[in-house]
């Protein structure tokens, strides 16, 4: 059943602190960028040592094919690195927000405001009186 006044009120516990959320998001972004740059440096160092020597002749000749090949290698590594880091940060964020859903609906607990509690009590009283009045058997004369 829908009781409009119960659903139209938002409990104070559900309000979001927007400033704190922005601050957390900025801090998370800075952490992600720093990790991305550090990992990029650590990944490209061995790539420079082991891959670039194969392209020395092409680099000396200023070959477009060599430049495109090196760019393709670095770009593919960067895309893979960025994808993995981004997914890792999203998963960390989701783990913090993850809520356990109970299997049994009767175990769900909801924080209620005083107004919601009083409305629910009034509705329960009303429903009980209606149920009692309709189930009474009238005596026939």
Provide the residue-wise pLDDT of the chain in tens; the chain has 141 residues: 445 544 445 555 555 556 666 677 888 899 999 999 999 999 999 999 999 999 999 999 999 999 999 999 999 999 999 999 999 988 888 877 765 555 555 555 556 677 777 777 888 888 777 765 555 555 555
**122 lies in some domain:** no
Q: Which of 3, 74, 89, 5 is nearest to 40 (CA)?
A: 74
**58 lies in some domain:** yes
**141 lies in some domain:** no
Give the CA distances from residue 52 to residues 69, 70, 116, 136, in Å, rounded to whole numbers and listed in that order: 11, 8, 69, 92
Q: Give me the residue label for tokens 């993995």.
A: 84
C-alpha span between 121 and 114 (Å, rounded):
11
**82 lies in some domain:** yes
Q: Which of 3, 4, 14 is nearest to 110 (CA)?
A: 14
- Phi–psi pair at 44, nearest 5 degrees: -75, -20
Query: Which pTM was predicted?
Result: 0.53
Residue 84: which domain range?
Answer: 16-103
- Phi–psi pair at 89, nearest 5 degrees: -65, -40
Q: How many domains does the chain divide into?
A: 1
**140 lies in some domain:** no
**85 lies in some domain:** yes
């Amino acid at each position: 059943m829908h009781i409009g006044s119960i659903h139209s009120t938002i409990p104070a516990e559900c309000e979001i602190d927007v400033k704190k959320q922005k601050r957390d998001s900025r801090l998370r972004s800075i952490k992600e960028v720093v990790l991305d740059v550090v990992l990029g440096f650590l990944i490209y160092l061995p790539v420079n040592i082991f891959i670039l020597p194969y392209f020395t002749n092409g680099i000396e000749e200023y070959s477009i094919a060599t430049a495109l090949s090196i760019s393709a290698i670095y770009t593919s590594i960067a895309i893979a690195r960025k994808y993995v880091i981004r997914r890792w940060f999203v998963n960390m964020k989701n783990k913090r927000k993850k809520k356990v859903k109970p299997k049994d609906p009767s175990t769900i607990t909801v924080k209620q405001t005083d107004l919601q509690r009083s409305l629910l009590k009034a509705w329960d009283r009303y429903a009980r009186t209606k149920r009692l009045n309709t189930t009474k058997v009238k005596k026939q004369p």
